Structure 1
Amino acid sequence: MPIRRNKRVQKCKDDRFSNLPDDILHQILSFNDTKYAVQTCLLSKRFKNLWKTLPDLSFDSMNFNRVFCFKRFVLDVLTHRDPSVDIGKFSLTRRDRIDKSFMTKVIDYVVSHNVKDLSLPVDWGEFRLPQRLIECESINSLLMETFRPEILPGHWFGFVGLQDLHLSRMQFHYESQQPFDPFSSCPNLRSLYLGDCYLSGFSVFRITGHQLINFSLSNFIIANRGRIELLAPMLTSFSFENSIPQCFALVDLPALSNVNVQVFLPHQFFRSNPTKQKAADALTNMFRVLRHARFVTLSYDTIEILAKAPNRLQHQPSPFMELEKMKLKMQLEENSIAISPHVTAYLLSASGYHATLEVEVERVKTTFSSPDPVGIPSFSTVDLTLDFWE
């Protein structure tokens, strides 16, 4: 008797789950790789064809023992899903270099089904993106890795409807005296992330974004004494993390509100006074560009650069005229520095010392670490000198 009652209870629970609307079940299944979503067809008749109407698809080659099985599974899913259902989100992750024929079929499918959110963390190798993907107006979010402009027709972006762009592990090399402005053909771009990036061969890297609101740089290097020119009158949020200070062209960012600067500088660069001065000059130049910021967060390394070049700060005006709150992330360890008066004056005097100052102290344990603690990209052509700050 108890056994029957348990079966009835279990059946009731199963029915309650199976009776959920398709859109809720789709949302639940979208949290997993599509491989496991397809396997739910074995649960009951209710799930037999449910995967065929999934609007969100995610494929990761790490879930397969062989690349051949991965590619066959992806193409089988695309072939047998309901052709009348458009794709909302599509993600394909592949660690090795992609197969051109396979990738062409995948791109053809997602473009023809009006994909909106496209994530392609793959090794592109010598593959070139087809023009039909560049001209796809339905794409409003795009993530790509191991990116090189050579895979683009004409080396320029042309996603007219694109609003959110995330590029990482990329190299730009553009031999020209003219500004390199790869995103000017994305008029609706609102959020831009560039990470693990090495640029060379040009004097000006220009970011044109008349609708750009959020801009983030991480592990970012620009060589050949190049500078960054940011033309974004609507920009409200700027983040610069785990990167050597770069040279910024002086532009006006009137809408800027939130700034996060987490500069990384190898300690061996502090051995000479000229090096300290160059680092401080690059940093104060960046702050002049960010002068309209109201909420500013600075890392310990950023403060350390300013503290070790006191003579430079004496000749620099305080940059943050509209500052409301500044947060300093300090470290507590044996050799940690204090916030010196000349640094405080430089950061706060333009606001009349009316801004709120918040200090967050982190206790740091002294442990052995590698020479590259933040993972600056190890490109063979990168020369980590300070010449490109001049």
Structure 2
Amino acid sequence: MEFDQNNVRWVVEQDRLSRLPDELLHKIMSCFDMKFVVETCLLSSRWKLLWTSMPFLNFSSCNFGSLLRFAEFMTHVLFHRDHQREVSLLKLYFQGAANDFFVRKIADYVCSHNVQQLTIWLTHHLPNNPPFLFTSNSLKHFTLTSIVIGACNITPKTPWDFPALTTLHLSGIVLSGDLFSKCVNLKHLTLESFVINVDVEEFDIITPRLSDLILIGGKCSRVIINLIAPQLENLTIYHCIIKLLNAPSILSSLCYTGFPHPQLFKDCFHSLNEVTICWLKMPYKEEDALKTIHMLQKLYSARYVTLDAYIVECISSFPDLLLHNSSPFTNLICLTIDSSMRVDPYKVKMSIEARNFLIEKSPSATLIMK
């Protein structure tokens, strides 16, 4: 194989990368931390000022020997960039204890430069009630993750003022008081590894346009959560410990996974389309079976139902209870028994009484053993 040195030199000298448009270079550099981006821009006169027009800013304190140097670098980048170019995405990974002055700088920048998406990861305590958590006219997507659960205690005197916000993801935080009622366009809310303040007995989630709510790993065993969300369609709950959840009866989709908690919901649901209930392995006691039956009766309107095999085996263990309670599902199209989480998925014990109880009022429904 012959090696054409002249042709290789011509390709290298042409520098095709530098000939790419700024928009594409910005997209490529958005995958990297801003420290690396700034250092890369020093390699070429063509890229010298490219970092100043970046619409995607990704900062991490892990790349600095001290928080002071990180704060100085971030301040330099923010206040020496081209302010005619809006910042659509700002990511901040902060390892260490933030001071009020630095947090206020970030808050001022977010509010004054029409940042649309803000993502923050924390590993230490954040100053209580930092200002950027309360007002922004431009912010549409906000993610706040605290690696140390409870490092961020949100106890505002007034609700957050995010009129443009549509997506909010909060993780590892302590909640109390009305937070969301001024987020009038919020449609997607995720609360993960959250705790509600010990002084709060009832916590209201007031969201006029919320359509999707995901609750993951919440520890609120003494708290009643009221979902005041008239447009809520989809509710997903993973491994949460909640005393009682008052959800709108107009739900279209309900997914519950976690410890057996048949009394989680107080009222029935009238317009369910899909329901998925998956429990960890539970003891098959008569009291548990009766609570399970009552829970299923509250889901009577569901058309597509998926039940974990443990639920079926629990009610199958007490056939007399099934004979004295009416079948719950009146609109059922498909019932799926899911045994995929079991060690022995092919040995599901479903009695004739349990089968009749589940599909008696919908005899044309399809039964699937998954």
Name the structure 2 match of 1:43.
43
Q: Are the equivalent residues in 1 in contact too, given 2:333–2:364 (CA < 8 A)?
A: no
- What letter matches 2:258 in structure 1? V
Q: Give 1:116 deviation, angstroms.
A: 0.7
Name the structure 2 match of 1:163.
166
> How far apart, CA to CA, are the structure 2 residues paired with 1:247 and 1:117?
33
Contiguous gaps of at least 5 residues in structure 1: 175-179, 360-390
Name the structure 1 match of 2:225.
228
Q: TM-score, normalised by structure 1?
A: 0.74
Name the structure 1 match of 2:239.
242
Name the structure 2 match of 1:137.
137
Question: Per the alignment, in what secondary structure is the counterpart of residue 163 of structure 2?
Answer: coil
Q: Are the equivalent residues in 2 in contact too, given 1:86–1:113 (CA < 8 A)?
A: yes
The structure with the larger Rg is 2
Q: Give 1:321 deviation, angstroms.
A: 4.9
Whether 1:72 aligns to 2:72 is yes
Residue identity over aligned pairs, in percent, reads 27
Question: Per the alignment, in what secondary structure is the counterpart of residue 7 of structure 2?
Answer: helix
Question: How many aligned positions are there?
Answer: 344
Name the structure 2 match of 1:338.
348
> How far apart, CA to CA, are the structure 2 residues paired with 1:204 and 1:353?
43
Q: Are the equivalent residues in 2 in contact too, given 1:181–1:207 (CA < 8 A)?
A: yes
Name the structure 2 match of 1:4.
6
Question: Per the alignment, in what secondary structure is the counterpart of residue 201 of structure 1?
Answer: coil
> How far apart, CA to CA, are the structure 1 residues paired with 2:163 and 2:84?
24
> How far apart, CA to CA, are the structure 2 residues paired with 1:316 and 1:73?
68
> How far apart, CA to CA, are the structure 1 residues paired with 2:358 and 2:157?
43
> How far apart, CA to CA, are the structure 1 residues paired with 2:151 and 2:348?
42
* Alpha carbons of structure 1 residues 148 and 94: separation in structure 2 relative to 1, 3 Å: closer
* Alpha carbons of structure 1 residues 55 and 314: separation in structure 2 relative to 1, 3 Å: farther
Name the structure 2 match of 1:281.
291
Deviations for 1:4-34, whole angstroms, at most 9, x for unmatched residues?
321212334x32x322222222122112222
Question: Per the alignment, in what secondary structure is the counterpart of residue 199 of structure 2?
Answer: strand
Q: Give 1:169 deviation, angstroms.
A: 0.7
Name the structure 1 match of 2:199.
201
- What letter matches 2:9 in structure 1? K
Deviations for 1:322-343, whole angstroms, at most 9, x for unmatched residues?
5545552533426996252455
- What letter matches 2:221 in structure 1? A
* Alpha carbons of structure 1 residues 213 and 4: separation in structure 2 relative to 1, 3 Å: same
Name the structure 1 match of 2:248.
251
**Structure 1 segment 348-387 matched on structure 2, within 5 A:** 348-349=359-360, 351-352=362-363, 354-355=365-366, 357=368, 359=370
Q: Are the equivalent residues in 1 in contact too, given 2:285–2:314 (CA < 8 A)?
A: no
Name the structure 1 match of 2:110.
110
Q: Are the equivalent residues in 2 in contact too, given 1:98–1:124 (CA < 8 A)?
A: yes
* Alpha carbons of structure 1 residues 231 and 133: separation in structure 2 relative to 1, 3 Å: closer
After TM superposition, the structure 1 stretch with the greater mean CA deviation from structure 2, 67-76 or 348-357, is 348-357
> How far apart, CA to CA, are the structure 2 residues paired with 1:311 and 1:227?
33
After TM superposition, the structure 1 stretch with the greater mean CA deviation from structure 2, 22-31 or 231-240, is 231-240
Question: Per the alignment, in what secondary structure is the counterpart of residue 85 of structure 1?
Answer: coil
Q: Which has the higher helix share?
A: 1
Q: Give 1:59 deviation, angstroms.
A: 1.2
Name the structure 2 match of 1:380.
none
Deviations for 1:174-203, whole angstroms, at most 9, x for unmatched residues?
5xxxxx543222211100101112224344
- What letter matches 1:235 in structure 2? L
- What letter matches 1:229 in structure 2? N
Q: Give 1:103 deviation, angstroms.
A: 1.3
* Alpha carbons of structure 1 residues 191 and 87: separation in structure 2 relative to 1, 3 Å: same
Question: Per the alignment, in what secondary structure is the counterpart of residue 46 of structure 2?
Answer: helix
Deviations for 1:156-177, whole angstroms, at most 9, x for unmatched residues?
33322211111111223x5xxx
Name the structure 2 match of 1:217.
215
> How far apart, CA to CA, are the structure 1 residues paired with 2:170 and 2:318?
34
Q: Give 1:85 deviation, angstroms.
A: 1.5
Question: Per the alignment, in what secondary structure is the counterpart of residue 118 of structure 2?
Answer: strand
> How far apart, CA to CA, are the structure 2 residues paired with 1:203 and 1:94?
32
Bigger relative contact order, structure 1 or 2, given CA contacts below 8 A and separation 6+?
A: 1
Question: Per the alignment, in what secondary structure is the counterpart of residue 71 of structure 1?
Answer: helix
Name the structure 2 match of 1:26.
26
- What letter matches 1:212 in structure 2? L
* Alpha carbons of structure 1 residues 136 and 319: separation in structure 2 relative to 1, 3 Å: farther
After TM superposition, the structure 1 stretch with the greater mean CA deviation from structure 2, 59-68 or 140-149, is 140-149
Q: Are the equivalent residues in 2 in contact too, given 1:218–1:240 (CA < 8 A)?
A: yes
Whether 1:260 aligns to 2:260 is no
Name the structure 2 match of 1:126.
127
Q: Are the equivalent residues in 1 in contact too, given 2:163–2:184 (CA < 8 A)?
A: yes
Q: Are the equivalent residues in 1 in contact too, given 2:133–2:160 (CA < 8 A)?
A: no
Q: Give 1:137 deviation, angstroms.
A: 1.2
Q: What RMSD, in angstroms, separates the aligned Cα atoms of the two structures?
A: 3.7
Contiguous gaps of at least 5 residues in structure 2: 262-278
Q: TM-score, normalised by structure 2?
A: 0.77
